[in-house]
Structure 1
Amino acid sequence: MTTKKIKSLNSSNAAQVVRKILFRARLIVANPSNWKYLNALDLTPVQNGVIVLTHESNRLGASMLAENIAKEAKNQGSCIYILTRQFGELNQEYAQTAPLRIVFSKIKMKSVLKKLHTAGYNRLLANTVVNGDCIRIAKECGYTVVSLIHEMPKVIQQLQAESSLKELEKYSDCVVFPTKGMQKKITGQFCVTPNSWEIKPQGIYLQDVDSNTLNKTTRDILGKLNKSEKIKIAVGVGNTTEIKGFDYFLKMARKAPTDILFVWAGKKESFYDICLSKGSVPTNFVYLGKLTTAAEMAALYTIADVLAMTSRVDTFPSAVLEAMKFGTPVIGFAESGGVSEVVQNGVNGTLIDKMGDTDAFLQAIISIVQNTSQYMSLSKNAKKTALNYSFENYVRFLMALFDEKSEV
């Protein structure tokens, strides 16, 4: 490797470190109440306790999955402890589920894991590849480790998490992939062969909502949309980022017939303003903002005629299963990831072959919302599909892996 390339790599690594420090600083400033979790350590003795390790505490897919795994595992009788490596808005919710500790450094991680192991926690569920750098530490402390991989290869590269993936592969007792397709891509592209691995989709963790609450919340959202009965609704869900394909969504809204309303729900990122600056704001586009409750999400899927899953990369998007639970057909790009494992063309939705083909995507939306018999068939099959993804069974499967690997 040339001196020039070495200098370039060093510069890139230094820039990444600086970005991480600044990002952490912003989260600390934004969540001052999280300081109490930095030194808290509940060492109440337990038996076969399970630590759920998450790298983030923002309201994003991976961290929300970690929260819901912890809740369901606790409901099933496991003693749970949550370790997070970040300040964030979800930490107070984590703490309502189980004892919580924020751990920044790997030196502190080792100290905390040793103390918790002494208290009876001997199982660690590592959520995402990013936590791979802590797996060897956990094994050295005596833990049985089950690791969950959610990132697509492109995301692993963007995060420069290849070394963490290698550590995860080498030291985990079992690695769980959400889909067979993703398992093949990651093991093939990065030449990793875990000691033991399983395929298990995560299931639907969106909580059920009573009918009165759902009806009221639905009316509230419809009031914000000011929708007439003839208008059909295409919904997009997620942060307004390039990865989520917010620009694709907006592009379709600009071209769509006026009787189709394009509604986006999710945290507003800087990419939102970039996209809107490139053209006029479509009259048939509504940004709902970030929806945080189960009732709001349930109401959104209830009023939606179709879920437009415009993601460029999405391992196994929860929104796909959640929408199908409410009978909402799903359209997505076949190349994006896990959506192709759930959506079947003409059965419960539509897959668009070419990434970024918004013309074909828009035509699929129009076809579904304008054909009542087609819509009814897709909706019925979507509900049937959702029945196959029990979150209770998913968590039960994960906890059983610990029993199996602990006996080896």
Structure 2
Amino acid sequence: MLSFGIMTLNKQNEQPYFMELAKRANEFHINCYRFIPSDIHPITEKITGDFYNHSTGVWESAEFTVPEILYDRCFYGNDSHSKQCMSIVNWLKARNDIQFLGYGLPNKLELYEILSCTNISPYLLKTTPFTGADRFIGSLLPDHPFILKPASGSQGQGIYYIEKTGKNILVKTDKKNAQVTRNFESAEKAAGWLNNLTAKRQYLFQPYVNLSNKEEQPFDIRILLQKDRNGTWKELGRGIRTGRNGGIVSNLSTGGSNISFEDWITEYPSSLRSFLCDELNDIIDTLPAALERKLPPLFEMGIDIGVENNGSIWILDINSKPGRKTILNSQPEKKEELFTAPLLYAKFLSANNEMERRTNHAKTISN
């Protein structure tokens, strides 16, 4: 039996998804384990975690060696436990006796640098590292707002709309239940707030583009790609994420909702429909190869794409640990594919002894 380990920072995270994977593992002759990286004993390298007992249908406490194939679903913060686990995962990535389903992506700034030198570059918003409040405020011009966001992760959190209005500086951010607005009456006050915000995390900023629908709701297209049982990239589905009226982001974690891609695209004239679909298909066909030419192998990615009223298309984010809510909500018939894809690809890696290129794996830890 192939041993398959799911890594998480908290066993409460993604429980339904992990259970669906585990329930299907036995039919593929896979033993399924779940653990937190910090639960690896530093001397014996034994893990105290959970083993899925197919007979009883429950996770049971167990001690085991590091599984042959690892599925990394760790979402890191700035806390000491996250930093500890990041170091352990980097150590695991460097081992030759273990394979990861995917080795992750670097942060958004490094990703921008990689993709800006490819034919994906026309779809990228100009991305600039935040290097200080005074310099950032000095670059603000009336009617030219910016979006400020963390360079790593976020899931819709910590994203700010910043605009200069006369001598004031307006800041807006979406929380789960409401939008929070602050109006700074001077550059000095805004700088103090910015310096405090950015003290512990790396940030970047991009020009704001209006990616809202006719109801003034922000929206984006989430496309989920995964490798199939033959190691070939395949689209699992696409859906539309819609935020609240007047909002900044469309993430489900900040109160967003879903509609199907088919329902959304029919609102456009046929000529624009054809153009949009061609552009999206071009991105899907081009992006995975562009990334894997420069980075270690991936298993899955969620691509978030914004569309302006004039049809301009922008890649907003690429996530190597995507969620599945958008696809499950808009295309529930994809459920079985979504819950078997990691297992099928694990079997492919094992059968083909795919010890693929892993150079620079340390740069991929942020996602």
- TM-score range for the pair, normalised by the shorter chain length: 0.3 to 0.5
Give TM-score, length-normalised by structure 2: 0.33
Structure number with higher strand proportion: 2
